[in-house]
A and B are shown apart, each in its own frame.
Chain A
Amino acid sequence: MAYTILIRAMASGGTTTVETLVKHPMDSGFVKGKDGKIIPGHYIEVIEFAHNGNIILTGYWGPAISKNPFSKFSFKGGKLGDTISVSWVDNKGEHTSTSAKIM
């Protein structure tokens, strides 16, 4: 499965705002499929955001987060051209990461 992460980071007035849309089924493990069987849990467990290599936010997600999660946060610092990277690992051990420059 192609795990896309869409990321946008914008700096203004000394603060950087980072928005991401993470493609992931985020199956909780509580939902039954059309065949009546439980769809196994498949969800991101840990997601990390870094600025120029330094971790600025760690998210401990889990089955309560719904499909294709959108997240938005701000931090003091960051300037045009800096790198914001994001990576996650899920309960099946799958992982993806991507990065973008601050606009």
Chain B
Amino acid sequence: MRVLFVVLGMLLIAPLVQAAPPSVAVEPAADLKAFRTNFRSQFPDLLLNGYVNGPYNFSKSERTQWNQIMEFPPYEFALQEGKELFETKFPDGKSYASCFPNGGIGIAQTYPKFDAISSKVATLGIALNECRDAHGMQPLNLTKGPPAAIETYMVHTSRGKPIDVTIPDDPRALAAYEAGKEYFYSRRGQLNFSCASCHVQAAGKRLRGDVLAPALGIAAIFPIYRSKWGDMGTLVRRFIGCNKKVNAQPVKADSARYRNLAYFLTYMSNGLPMAAPGARP
């Protein structure tokens, strides 16, 4: 009799015990293909490499103004400053070149990278700070100022090279990628928009006075000189700005959230040519 009750009891509680959700395979390569196909079917006349020019593909007046401002690229000063800072030796005699393959020249297109030792994604800005840390120096701002200038110089040496972000077959790397992907497609903030709301669903359309860039190719041009800022800014600077724009609470610049988002977003532009530093309204 007691056995019967125990069995009945177990049968009753069984539905209340949640089974582990079925594991969905993380397939970045398949995601990339679907991402591209979505945009290319939306804009059949746009060449794949042209996506790096973002809003300028959709607005003649913005393109004309861009051509005018590029007579003397507005990031020229940051480029010069960045080169000087990049080549300045640390107090211990070493320099940034000692922390990167090929002395840091022509390698920016491989970032963000998954760091197997720290189990975290490292963007170029974070790698620069890790370099500083390894040589006994304080980390710098990840969004603007001198570190943005150094990034400006480093990405410039990679101009034209196809973006080449690697997602190793490591469950931690795949989890970081998946977290970035989830963030991209999740709604947030008072305005309840996701990144995709503007940069996928409304790509090429106007948002107030601006033309929205498609998410494909958007990572190829950072850091950018943004006329609105009158200054250079990194991808993270823009993430924080976008959060604020939808009245969502931004988080710290070096947080996992933005690292993973950068990982996903840059991977989605794999194969497209680096067109950084960029100039945007």
- Chain A residues within CB distance 8 Å of chain B: 4, 6, 8, 19-21, 23, 66-68, 70, 72
Contacts and interface: CB of A to CB of B under 8 A. Distances in A.
A92 B207 CA distance: 41
Contacts of B72: 6, 8, 19-21, 70
B80 A68 contact: no
Contacts of B71: 19, 70, 72
B70 to A, nearest CB: 11
Contact of B77 (A19, A20, A23, A72): A23
A67 B230 contact: yes
Chain B: interface size category = under 10
B76 interface: yes
Contacts of B214: none
Interface of B: 69, 71-72, 74, 76-77, 80, 230
Contacts of A21: 72, 74, 76-77
B76 A6 contact: yes
Contacts of A68: 74, 77, 230
A68 B227 CA distance: 11
Nearest to B225: A68
B261 to A, nearest CB: 27
A4 B230 contact: no
Contacts of B80: 4
Contacts of A20: 72
17 contacts: A4-B77, A8-B72, A19-B71, A19-B72, A20-B72, A21-B72, A21-B74, A21-B76, A23-B77, A67-B230, A68-B74, A68-B77, A68-B230, A70-B69, A70-B71, A70-B72, A72-B71
Given A21-B74, A68-B74, 20 more contacts: A4-B77, A4-B80, A6-B72, A6-B76, A8-B72, A19-B71, A19-B72, A20-B72, A21-B72, A21-B76, A21-B77, A23-B77, A66-B230, A67-B230, A68-B77, A68-B230, A70-B69, A70-B71, A70-B72, A72-B71
A66 B71 CA distance: 18
Nearest to B73: A21
A97 to B, nearest CB: 17
Nearest to B71: A19
A94 to B, nearest CB: 17
Nearest to A8: B72
A19 B69 CA distance: 12
A23 B80 CA distance: 12
B201 to A, nearest CB: 35
A23 B230 CA distance: 12
A20 B71 CA distance: 10
A40 B20 CA distance: 63
